[in-house]
Amino acid sequence: MKMDRKRVVITGMGILSSLADNVSDFKQALLNKKCGVTDSERFSTWFENARAAEVLHDIDYSELPEDLIESLDNAALWAYKVSKDALTQAGLINNKERLNETGLIVGVSSAGTEAFLPLFEQRIQDFSLKKAMYSGGFSSCCSSVSTLLGLKGGMELVATACTASPNAIGMAFDYIQNGKSKTMLAVGTEPIYLPTYAGFYVLNVMHPDSCTPFSGNPGMSIGEGAGAVMLEEYEHAVARGATIYGEILSYATSCDAFHETGPDPRASGAVQVMTKAMQNAGITPEQIDYVNMHGTGTEANDRIETLAMKKVFANNENLLVSSTKSYFGHNIGAAGIVELIACLVTLPEKKVLPTLAFTVPRANCDLDYVPNEFREKDVNIFMKNNYAFGGNNCSMIVSTKPTSIPVTSYEEKRVAISGIGAVSAIGHTLNEIVDFIWENNQSVELGSVKFYDDTLEETRELLDVLTTTHQFEELLGSDFALGANALPENDENFKTFQVSNLEPRKHLRRYDPRKATRGGTFALIALAEALNTAKRKIKKDGDEFGFVMGMSRGPQETTYKYLQSLKPDPRKVRTSEFPGSLMNSIPTFCGISEGIKGYTTTLATGENAALGALTYGYEIIRQELQPQVLVGGADEYFPSMSLYMDAVTQKIHMTSDARDYQIYGKEPKGFIPGEGSCMLLLESVEAIQERGAEILAEIAGYGKSSSNSYFDASQIDEKAQSMSLAIARALDDAGISAKDIDLVCGTSNGSQSNSQIEIEAIYQSFQQENPQVPVVNYNAFFGFVASSAGLMNLAVLIDCIKKQAVPAIPYTQEFCDERINFVRQPLKMPVKHVLLVGATEGGNYYAFVIKG
């Protein structure tokens, strides 16, 4: 069905940068051509001539309790501050009904870092368990902001490094396009911490003074900050009399599939993303009045970005371009949104931002970069470009004059799964996995964990601090007093679901073990199997494939090695591991290996992040933005600090027998960690049929929600109601009711609170119309594969639809709730509609209706 795209406008903004902590002062600082790059007292402790554009304002958080402020890191506090400002400017801060429907997308590069700074800044005595628990997760800033502001429309965290915040805006834009909400809040937040500063400093890409993009001596200036924009459907904004600051016409992402850090010298990915963004907006290059470039100031970036501009805008002689990083440095994950706001507060004044400190142009840099002085010009349409490590590219098209450009349309598509692949402890292919499940009289042999001496030394030192300061007892109660047997390495029974005897070359055409992490290997094998089952090969058509990856803890071993190399001297950090420690490094590895060049995004929303990837892959296919999208998640098991935190807080079940992992059991003892990957290939139903492939299942609809009880673990009922809301939204999206569902699959990790939330939500949703609906959960077969748990269960559900039979929940002998019809024995039954539910650890809830 032909659909006109909705107009999406900006009705509120919030800003925090080295220049100012509010929109009005930020605008004035820009007009005054103020540069925020100065000597850094913080980083001069380790580095000579340390320069940065830092946020040094005294920010007022007086409305928050003092103990809560101490629990949050700057990533969360800054995101809260700019989000509150954006909601206030939009006139929605007290509109509870609207906030209940508003979703949150946050872009950030190095989240979850601040709580652990004492470990690698060699001041372990300052470690706060409270901050680690509430701000130590990569997506914790999402959970904090949504709870504090009362947002219940679901949340995601985008982790594509320097394109994270424009990518977040693009995702929010698409959720409005799909009618999921009339309002979405997009945020970028990025404090600069030692690991990031050290990585760039030792790479020798820092400018000794302040960056001068496209001229003079090359080099970047690192900066920090945050920004938020309230996106709103145009008709909704007009109906309530909102002030409109601009219209997002379109956006696009792409991947170079070229190198882990360096841009493609042919600029093909940059050309592709700009071309796609204009195609989505229905405009030509000649209609663009101005481009706000990425413009980091480094030699390679400036030269190649200029080349891309020449290829795309060869016939636009009047085009103006500039880089605003000369004002406030490179804000990494927050760069794009801060730069967008800079455009939105100056271009309506008919003032085009200059590139400051411009001197002699560098070789091959010969565009009109608006050197040093504002240029008077009436700009209607402008483009905002950002690029990132891994060849992630993002381009937005924005109008300062809403409704001046006709809307585009698309043919709404039904979205189906045509390929699937998986790697786990019970099998290296999907067939091996489902064969094991149907022969479930056997139990998988668990693997022994290898502990690293330096890990143990650091951990023991930390636990000594926590014991001495009684932080565990104060925060969690006397039951959590530490003893030697709380540590995994001291429990001879502690084993995990590990992938063993894997031979990658048996599964892959191309494989470089020198660049492959354990998680990357799992992901690439699952991806290759998904393509094979779909009977689809990537040849020279990689731009037709999108790739959305959901991550939980990311490349743990590489990150650990990089952080360890900061000690004792950060000036000698191992830069070879720097790009590999980023959350988007695994999809980068897969993209380069397979030549995937289309829409590429990495979400790092934590447990079940791959379900977030599935929602976004669905959006891309549904709107005809890409013909095919690969979605998935990958997890590698590594005994990092997070293992010890999980162990001493009694989340992990230390056992040597997989049969002890009893999900929905009467006396749960925690989860058993697992590793592996699951990947799906999504296409439209029509496309699959046209090429004669098999439709494995159709995604009939989905729903999302988020709870507002991140800081109160006891609020089980509120969290269950939030999951029930996601279920209701999914059923409504699919156009069916609870009575039409044949089977419900949960993805609880098996802990008491996880299971309680899931079971109560299922009961609330089905008690009236379908109280005896069968309920399953297969995580105990694989171990808890954090980011991929939902997709691993979905793989089994697709097999259930194919066989019209349902395996039993493994191992659990006594179930915890008699109201629920848990599948205790294998069933032969008709399976047409399946409901899959899942949650992140931060209070984000997903529900999908899968149709056979």
Q: Give the catalytic positions in this structure.
A: 162, 294, 330
Amino acid at 605: T
Cβ partners under 8 Å of residue 514, min gap 6:
none
Identify the three-state secondary structure at position 121: coil
Buried/exposed code over 429-439 (b: 16+ C-beta within 10 A; e: otherwise): bbeebbebbee
**Residues 18, 237: Cα–Cα separation, whole Å:** 31
**Residues 602, 157: Cα–Cα separation, whole Å:** 9
**Residues 32, 646: Cα–Cα separation, whole Å:** 51
Picking from 719, 843, 715, 733, the residue whose alpha carbon sits closest to that of residue 179 is 733
> CB of 332 within 8 A of CB of 162?
yes
Identify the three-state secondary structure at position 756: helix
Beta pairing partners, 105: 156, 186
HEC readout, 632-695? EEEECCCCCHHHHHHHHCCCECCCCCHHHCCCCECCCCCECEECEEEEEEEEEHHHHHHCCCCC
CA distances from 570 to 121, 239, 258, 331 (A): 9, 55, 29, 21
**Residues 309, 65: Cα–Cα separation, whole Å:** 49
Picking from 181, 147, 188, the residue whose alpha carbon sits closest to that of residue 17 is 188
**Residues 380, 404: Cα–Cα separation, whole Å:** 8
> CB of 133 within 8 A of CB of 832?
no
| Cα 228-231-233 angle, rounded to 5 deg | 170
For residue 605, the 8-state DSSP code is -
CA distances from 205 to 66, 99, 109, 201, 220 (A): 39, 42, 18, 6, 6
**Residues 330, 92: Cα–Cα separation, whole Å:** 31
**Residues 534, 519: Cα–Cα separation, whole Å:** 23
Picking from 664, 609, 595, the residue whose alpha carbon sits closest to that of residue 791 is 609
**Residues 304, 322: Cα–Cα separation, whole Å:** 15
Picking from 253, 256, 288, 286, the residue whose alpha carbon sits closest to that of residue 269 is 256
CA distances from 532 to 332, 525, 527, 680 (A): 37, 11, 9, 11
DSSP percent split of the chain into helix, strand, coil, nearest 5: 40, 20, 40
Identify the three-state secondary structure at position 330: strand
Beta pairing partners, 218: none
**Residues 56, 18: Cα–Cα separation, whole Å:** 7
Q: Tokens 């994270």 appear where? A: 164
> CB of 11 within 8 A of CB of 322?
no
**Residues 667, 664: Cα–Cα separation, whole Å:** 8
**Residues 329, 681: Cα–Cα separation, whole Å:** 39
CA distances from 836 to 175, 217, 664, 703 (A): 20, 55, 16, 11
